[in-house]
Every structure is written in C-alpha cells, then in structure tokens.
Amino acid sequence: MFVGHLAAALVAKKIEPRTPLGAAVAAGFGLDLIWPLFLLGGLETVRINPGDTAFTNLAFDFYPWSHSLVMVVGWSLVAALVGGKLIGSKRVGTTLGALVMSHWILDLVAHRPDLPVWPGGPVLGMGLWYSVPGTFVVEGSMLAIGLAAYRATTRPDDRVGSLALSGLLVFSVALWVAQPWAPPPPSATAVAVSALALWLFPVWAGWADRHRSLRPGVGTPAPTPPPSGS
C-alpha cells in the first residue's frame, strides 16, 4: 500500500493525540523507509517485472529483513521502545509500534503472495493490487477516513498548517494515482534511490503538524465525577 500507510498515521493522531504526526508517518511508512537501504546494501532484492500485478511493475522477490512478519514484530518493538523513550510516553511508543505492525497488515492485503512470514518461510498476500479500481476504492476510502480523523483532532494555527497538509496529501495522491501507468523503472538501483524520497514524508508531515494545534477538548482527560453523597 501507499496512501493507506499515510491514512493509518493520520488515524493514530486521533487515537493518541500526543503522537507527533511526523513520528506517526515515519512509523507507518517505516518498513518502506528501511527497505531501500537494504536494497542498496545488497541484503534484499527487487525485480523489474512489467505486469507483475495491475498496480505495480515490481516483483518483491526477497525482502525478509524489512518485511517478514517475524522481523516486523521486532521492528515494532524497537519503534515502541525508542519512540516511547524519545517522546517520553509509553502510550505514544505503543502507538508507534502498532503503526509499524500495521504496515505489514496493510501490505498483506495489497501484495500478491510475496510477504514472508519469516526469512526463508512461507509467503502470504491477498492480492488487492491485481485490481486497480479495487486498490483505488480501498486505499482512497482509508485516506478519506484518516484525513477526517486528523482534521477532527487538529486545527491549523496559520496558513502553513493548512497548506502544508494539503500539499502533502496532493503530492501523495498524485504519486499513488500515477503508479499503475508509470513506465517501468530502468533498474533495481533506480528503484532503491527513488524510494529514498519517502524519507521526505515524515519531515513534511512533521512540518505541517507543528503548525496545527489540538482542537479544544481533544486529549484532555474526562473530569472525574464528584463522589456521591451519603
């Protein structure tokens, strides 16, 4: 998936409003942030295969260190521990860990059977990417729900808070919609180098989020009712 991961990060802000959106986006896209590093390091491989599915020309032949279920559980624990420590909240850390785990679950829906359960183990995938309309409906609906949740949780402090968020959404949707008709990349190295651009997304999301505030009452503990009289 692509915008589905962004949607998960936006929803996480509503679930735990103290979660910085930049950190949430980094966690939601986390496996795809480390994937090009493993490609460039020769630890994982991807193959250019036009028509591999209707939605992508890439065949994900070997990516157990970034995308196997067992490793993702480990990456989720790392995100939860490190994120909670840096932000100073175990609840936020748990939210970030859950976002890393959500990446594998959403990819399970989108990918054909190529997601390993463990390195060298069986592969899984439900194949949403075999249908371009189906992908647009499912991920588009997720993004709409995520955006509604985020806007219900935050409000812009200034024009940057509105325009930066809108720009991130427009850019993300444009890349996503163009994917089925994009020409095959020239090489696996080109795929890895271009995928490094995903590191822009947490920075962009964090910039937008810093220019937005929680709406009144959001994240405020409910008042404790007074004890009943005798």
CB 128 within 8 A of CB 134: yes
> Tens of pLDDT along 58-73?
999 999 999 999 999 9
How much is the average pLDDT of 6-26?
97
How many percent of the chain have pLDDT more than 70?
Answer: 95
Phi, psi of 213 (to 5 degrees): -125, 155
The pLDDT score that the predictor gives to residue 225 is 55
Q: How far apart are CA 47 and CA 192, in angstroms?
A: 11
> Tens of pLDDT along 132-186?
999 999 999 999 999 999 999 999 999 999 999 999 999 999 999 999 999 999 9
Pairing of strands 115-116, 58-62: unpaired
Phi, psi of 17 (to 5 degrees): -60, -20
Q: Whose CA is closest to 30, among 91, 80, 87, 100?
A: 100
How much is the mean pLDDT over the chain?
Answer: 95
How much is the average pLDDT of 183-191?
95
* pLDDT class of 230 with cuts at 50, 70, 90: very low
The pLDDT score that the predictor gives to residue 109 is 98
Q: How far apart are CA 120 and CA 16, in angstroms?
A: 36
Residue 57 has pLDDT above 50, yes or no: yes
* pLDDT class of 54 with cuts at 50, 70, 90: very high
CB 81 within 8 A of CB 30: no
The pLDDT score that the predictor gives to residue 218 is 85
The pLDDT score that the predictor gives to residue 107 is 98
How much is the average pLDDT of 180-205?
96
The pLDDT score that the predictor gives to residue 226 is 58
The pLDDT score that the predictor gives to residue 14 is 95
- Higher pLDDT, residue 24 or 223: 24
How many percent of the chain have pLDDT more than 90?
Answer: 93
Q: How far apart are CA 154 and CA 209, in angstroms?
A: 8
Give SS3 for 124. Answer: strand
Query: What residues contact 142, with CB distance under 8 A and at least 6 apart?
Result: 3, 4, 7, 8
How far is CA 106 from its chain centroid? 9
> Tens of pLDDT along 203-227?
999 999 999 999 998 876 545 555 5
CB 99 within 8 A of CB 79: yes
Q: Whose CA is closest to 46, among 187, 193, 199?
A: 187
What angle, rounded to 10 degrees, do the helices at 30-40 and 188-195 form? 140
CB 4 within 8 A of CB 139: yes
The pLDDT score that the predictor gives to residue 217 is 86
Phi, psi of 116 (to 5 degrees): -75, 145
Element (H, E) at 116: strand 115-116
CA distances from 109 to 6, 18, 103, 135, 228 (A): 15, 29, 10, 10, 50
